[in-house]
Amino acid sequence: MENAPKICVLIRRTGNSGNAVMTGLKKKVFKMGKLAQIFKLLNFAFLIRYRVFFIKLIFQTLFFRLLFTVRFILSNTVLLILTLVMIPVALLPEAMFDFVQFTLS
């Protein structure tokens, strides 16, 4: 298990385009024996062929995380606006009633 090759080392062979993937995967170094063996068998030709897929996968993950964060902020903002609008609307009838009473007296 200690001598298991790291996937980022294999991805490094893909050239400049692979660097984006390599930096993305560097934080999570895979030391799984079976997975590393599978990647070794597939060799660097597979990685060159599918490097675009790896890069897309990383960007997709980042995009969806960003989208989720934006959606969370927007939903909270909408709730805040609704609360700020609904409180005066809820208090309006009472205020109108007081105004009418004051005017008539």
- The mean pLDDT value for 32-39 works out to 56
Q: What is the pLDDT of residue 86?
A: 75
Interval 60-92: pLDDT, tens: 777 777 777 777 777 777 777 777 777 777 777
Q: Which two tokens stand for residue 84?
A: 């700020």
* pLDDT at residue 52 in the model: 65
Is residue 100's pLDDT more than 50? yes
Total Cβ atoms within 10 A of residue 20: 16
Q: Is the pLDDT of residue 44 over 60?
A: no
Q: Which of 27, 54, 19 is nearest to 39 (CA)?
A: 54
Mean pLDDT of all residues belonging to the chain: 62
Residue whose token pair is 């675009």: 52
Is pLDDT of 20 > 60?
no
Contacts of 64 (CB under 8 A, 6+ apart): none
